[in-house]
Amino acid sequence: MENSGFLTTALPLALAIIMLGLGLGLTVDDFKRIGRNPRAVLIALGIQLVILPAIALALIYLVGLRGALAVGVILLAASPGGTTANLFSHLFRGDVALNVSLTAINSVIAVFTLPLFTNIALALFLPESDEIGLQFGKAAQVFAIVLLPVVIGMTIRRVWPGIAARSDRPVRIFSVIVLAAITVGAIAAERENVLEYLTDVGVVTGLFCLFSLSIGYFLSRTLKLSHRQSVAASMEIGVHNTTIAMTIGMSVMGSAELAIPAAVYSILMYILAPIFGFAITRGRRGDDESERDAQPSAVVR
């Protein structure tokens, strides 16, 4: 499906504002913190960049998904975590400072991994398509709408911290509205096939969300991260910035069908992530306090 010129222009602009808002909450120290606690960061990134795409691919073949929907699932798997992951981590007493650092580094890495994974998926599932993938020009567009606004936001926070503080709440509200609008728009654009898509993609995205949250937490615990760090990893890995995936699908690549998996996921993750968070934190208040006393306190911004 070809999108209108308005959509092609409006979606990248909206995403750029959202990523600008993300940058308003970041500082250079969020990147420096990675060097002070590299093990937790490397474990979380390893899960997100290696294990998640493998799980997505396995689910695609298990369910028998093909074509643009399969590419959309890989695009979803490659999308980074976002500020909503930070919020869920805070609600369930995770290490929010670790979340902020992961969000910062993921925003940089996604500029390279999104085109890479998308092109691999296109070669696997749409080999005869006219779509030539995310070549240099489109990859540069991803860079422009994902990373540059983050850098601008960080600069504003450093130079004009008052403006950054006052802008935080309006940008967060705008982000929620945009996510809802894109989700509705993606589903409405494919309304003739929506029931079939929801049946196929709903199973894959629901399982993918549960696997992402579970592996993020339990594998992190197995690798000796603390409960609070594991909660942070789980939320960062399981709560994706689906706005990026939907914008790339609908605007950069011009296909609403590519955006359907992320649109469905954006609904399911708001249901499954809180349920999972309650399950893994139930009855752990005393343990959380002990861990908090033993570690440097995380600053929630």
pLDDT tens, position by position, 268-282: 888 899 999 999 988
Confidence (pLDDT) at 300: 39
Residue 1: the pLDDT is 44
pLDDT confidence of residue 283 = 62
Which long-range contacts does 211-217 make (Cβ < 8 Å, 24+ apart)? 211/55, 211/59, 212/52, 212/55, 212/237, 212/238, 213/237, 213/238, 213/272, 213/273, 213/276, 214/276, 215/47, 215/51, 215/55, 216/44, 216/47, 217/276, 217/280
Kindly state whether residue 21 falls inside one of the protein's structural domains: yes
Check if the beta carbon of residue 76 is closer than 8 Å to that of residue 231: no
Residues in the chain predicted with pLDDT less than 50, given as ranges, are 1-6, 132, 136, 286, 289, 293-294, 296-301
User: Considering only CA atoms, which of 70, 73, 13, 97 is closest in space to residue 268?
Assistant: 73
29 within some domain: yes
> How far is Cα 81 from Cα 241, in angstroms, rounded to an integer?
5
The answer to whether residue 273 is domain-embedded is: yes
Ramachandran region, residue 13 (left: φ > 0; alpha: ψ -120 to 50; beta: rest): alpha
Dig out the tokens for 3 from the structure.
């999108």
Percent of the chain with pLDDT over 90: 24
State residue 6's pLDDT score. Answer: 47
Query: Is residue 299 a part of any domain in this protein?
Result: no
3 state SS of 240: strand
Report residue 144 as tokens.
């422009």
CATH number of the domain at 109, please.
Answer: 1.20.1530.20
Specify the number of domains making up the chain: 1
Within a domain: 298: no
| pLDDT at residue 234, as a whole number | 95
pLDDT of residue 299: 40
Residue 297 maps to a domain: no
Distance of CA 107 to the CA centre of its chain: 9
Express each pLDDT in 207-261 by its tens digit: 999 999 999 999 999 999 999 999 999 999 999 888 888 878 777 677 778 888 9
DSSP of 60-125:
HHHHT--HHHHHHHHHHHHSPB-HHHHHHHHHTT--HHHHHHHHHHHHHHHHHHHHHHHHHHHHHH
295 within domain boundaries: no
Burial of 11 (0-12, 13-18, 19+ CB in 10 A): buried
Residue 228 contacts residue 295 (beta carbons within 8 Å): yes
Provide the domain limits for residue 161: 5-289
DSSP 50: I
